Amino acid sequence: MNNNWLKSNTFHHSDFKDLGRLVEEKRKKNLKISLCLPTLNEEKTIAKEVLLMRSELMARYPLLDEILVIDSGSIDKTKEIAEAFGADFYEANDILPHLEKYRGKGENLWKALYIAKVDIIIYLDADIKNIHHRFAYGLIGPLLLYDHIKYAKAFYDRPIAIGKNKLRPTGGGRVTELVIRPMFSLFFPELTQLMQPLSGEYAGFREIFEKIPFPIGYGVETSMILDIYTQWGLDVIAQVDLDRRVHRNQDTKALGRMSFVILKTFLNRTGELGLINMKEDLLNEMIQYNLVKDEIQPQILNIQGHERPPIIEIPEYREKFKVEGAPDKLAAH
């Protein structure tokens, strides 16, 4: 394994703290940048995220051209709050409404590509409790200052919130360390240099995102890394240390369901690449157990693992963005 990438393509957000320089590079290259926040019932955190990004990266330093909130059907006040603070709000089901409707983070990210009117898209989770504009400019920096970098991914310390104003310094990134890092070590050792492949914060050029498929659920980060790596190589990827991220933690059973989806995505991709021989399709049922009135009962969750094709194959997208050429020769997967 070549470790040169770890040295040359790993950055700290402070490397890009000269926001005036980033604005000038954006202007010189005639680029437009969108921030996309996928949401589902995020009324507690969405206001601060939108307000901070608009204040620092639109009003003070014009790095962002738009802030999009793509929602999965929130039943709280996410919509009202996001719009009140200046974000453009969209229901995912209202975007390309003739397509079969799915619900999941990957679905929102994929549909944002149709709405965004920009060259670079930043995807940030909407539940970040310690949000800071470094989460955006840290990811924009490599894309603006290094011509060969087309995709930038975050990593950070992930203390787990255990109560109001209380943090435990270890325990974050459990699925990365217990699931994805072992799988990368077995099949793609170069990718072990990614500190947190499952982080929910990343940015990239449209020319990359539009040519890869998007699983609608938890497998989207794994899929994205594998597809970008196998089609364009590791050199187009950067990772940026954002110091610390505080977020809503999940229990072990929820992480188990997440791991199921991620493993299924990983195995399907490695099968498509010919690295393993998949003699049968993978099953869709995640089986867990509960103790109910002193009896052990199975809890079965059916997870279909739907996936959107590269959006460049969708006729409406091709028409809107004036894409030329045969779709099968434009998509990377």
Tokens 């594998």 locate to 226
Output the pLDDT for position 170: 44
Output the pLDDT for position 169: 46
For residue 182, being part of any structural domain is answered with no
Residue 141 has pLDDT above 60, yes or no: yes
Output the pLDDT for position 292: 87
Tokens of 197: 């492949």
| DSSP E strands, the chain | 10-12, 33-39, 66-71, 88-91, 120-123, 151-157, 160-163, 166-168, 202-205, 214-215, 237-244, 285-292, 295-302, 307-308
Q: What is the pLDDT of residues 240-267, one digit of tens each?
A: 999 988 766 678 888 899 999 999 999 9
Output the pLDDT for position 301: 86
Q: What is the pLDDT of residues 86-122, one digit of tens each?
A: 999 999 999 999 999 999 999 999 999 999 999 999 9
For residue 222, being part of any structural domain is answered with yes
Q: What is the pLDDT of residues 276-293, one digit of tens each?
A: 988 888 899 999 998 888
Q: What is the pLDDT of residues 193-240, one digit of tens each?
A: 999 999 999 999 999 999 999 999 889 999 999 999 999 999 999 999
- CATH label of the domain that carries residue 24: 3.90.550.10
Tokens of 235: 């050199």
Tell me how far apart the alpha carbons of residues 153 and 225 are, in angstroms, rounded to a whole number: 9
Q: What is the pLDDT of residues 153-187, one digit of tens each?
A: 999 885 545 455 554 444 457 888 899 999 999 99
For residue 27, being part of any structural domain is answered with yes
Output the pLDDT for position 324: 82
Output the pLDDT for position 327: 60
For residue 277, being part of any structural domain is answered with no
For residue 296, being part of any structural domain is answered with no
Output the pLDDT for position 173: 76
Taking residues 31-38, what's their average pLDDT? 98
Q: Per-residue confidence at 39, pLDDT binned at 50, 70, 90? A: very high
For residue 258, being part of any structural domain is answered with no
Q: Do residues 46 and 13 lie in contact, with contact meaning Cβ atoms separated by under 8 Å?
A: no
Q: Which domain holds residue 99?
A: 4-169+188-250+309-330
For residue 177, being part of any structural domain is answered with no
Our separate counts of H helices and E strands in the chain read: 13, 14
Q: Do residues 16 and 152 lie in contact, with contact meaning Cβ atoms separated by under 8 Å?
A: no
Output the pLDDT for position 291: 86
Comparing C-alpha atoms, which of 333, 209, 192, 208 is closest to residue 265?
333
Output the pLDDT for position 281: 87
Residues with Cβ < 8 Å from 127, sequence gap 6 or more? 42, 45, 247, 248
Q: Per-residue confidence at 124, pLDDT binned at 50, 70, 90? A: very high
- Comparing 69-73, 144-148, 201-205, 324-328, the range with the smallest average pLDDT is 324-328
Is 293 exposed, middle or buried, given 0-12, 13-18 or 19+ CB atoms closer than 10 A?
A: exposed
The 3-state DSSP class for residue 37 equals strand
Neighbouring CB atoms inside 10 A of 277's CB total 6
Model pTM? 0.91
Tokens 């052990």 locate to 296
Domain count, the chain: 1
For residue 273, being part of any structural domain is answered with no
